[in-house]
Copies of this chain bind each other. A is one copy, B any other.
Amino acid sequence: MPPETINRCPLKTREEEIMDKALEMMTAQGVAGLTIDKLVANVPYSKGTIYNHFTCKEDILTGLCNRSVQNLYDLFCHAASFNGSSREKILAIGYAYMLYSLLHPTEFMLVISAKTPSIFEKASDKRREQHLALEHKLLDSILHVISEGLTEGDFKLQNHLSPAQVAFALWSMCFGTILLLHESLDRCSVRTEMKLERELINHANLMLDGLNWQPYTQAHDWNETIKQYKTDLFPNEIRQLKQLQTT
């Protein structure tokens, strides 16, 4: 018999260990900098062992992506706990999304690349299913705030929009904005004049106004709300971010 009880736990740790090192290498040398051979050299296991945990390189990437979505989910839940109106909560989720993309650029980019057929198709079924489940969870956390807004009467569904459609509208809008303005991407021509935080808030407010989600942009001091995000809701993340920017 093989080592059962003894190895079950270390096995999980080892998987994390491999992913940690892979992420470290990618952060240092870009996605293309991750090489199985180099990874083997930086990890106390051999190539065969790595291929025992992951079916291929793309499987490692998808695994990292999943871990990332889980972390993002946790941050979304924290954002939804903001002590304020439902509109402030939904905006906080968008803000959390942005913070995450800035704090963990490599992982954020990974979430996109992992959606690419060339990567996703090669990943193992196990990690693929995991990914879909996690994504669902993420959307649910947004849906939760939406139903809160509905029950509190802060906005009404119009034009035959379902809550899921509203959630998706907000999500895709944040996603597009962050993606196009992300530092990790080589500056688009627009990038020069645009500041991510400002534009994200603008876009979100435009869409929330379009939804007639109270209070309107004009009827509230949103700068004050954002200040609260920074000081009360995400003080740790803001501090980390400042640290990151000075180095």
| Chain A positions near chain B (C-beta within 8 angstroms) | 30-32, 109, 112-113, 115-118, 120-121, 128, 132-133, 135-136, 139, 158-159, 161, 164-165, 168-169, 171-177, 179-181, 184-186, 188-190, 193-194, 199, 202-203, 205-211, 217-218
Q: A180-B175, A186-B117, A186-B120 are in contact. Are A169 and B139 (CB under 8 A)?
A: no
**Assembled-state Cα–Cα distance A70/B56 (Å):** 37
Chain B residues closer than 8 Å to A203, beta-carbon distance: 169, 172-173, 207
Q: A31-B118, A207-B210, A210-B210 are in contact. Are A190 and B176 (CB under 8 A)?
A: no
Chain B residues closer than 8 Å to A179, beta-carbon distance: 172, 175-176, 179
Q: A-B pairs with the 3 shortest C-beta distances?
A: A176-B176, A210-B210, A206-B210
What is the total number of copies of this protein in its complex? 2
Do A172 and B176 have beta carbons less than 8 Å apart? Answer: yes
**Assembled-state Cα–Cα distance A161/B194 (Å):** 11
Q: A165-B199, A209-B210 are in contact. Are A136 and B189 (CB under 8 A)?
A: yes
**Assembled-state Cα–Cα distance A199/B30 (Å):** 34
Residue of A161, A176, A179, A193 ringed by the most chain B CB atoms within 10 A: A176
Chain B residues closer than 8 Å to A135, beta-carbon distance: 188-190
Do A159 and B189 have beta carbons less than 8 Å apart? Answer: no
**Assembled-state Cα–Cα distance A179/B32 (Å):** 23
Chain B residues closer than 8 Å to A118, beta-carbon distance: 30-32
Name the contact of A139 in the complex, choosing from B109, B161, B172, B189 (C-beta under 8 A): B189
Q: A135-B188, A177-B176, A188-B135 are in contact. Are A169 and B202 (CB under 8 A)?
A: yes
**Assembled-state Cα–Cα distance A228/B228 (Å):** 47
**Assembled-state Cα–Cα distance A111/B6 (Å):** 49
Chain B min CB distance to A197 (Å): 13
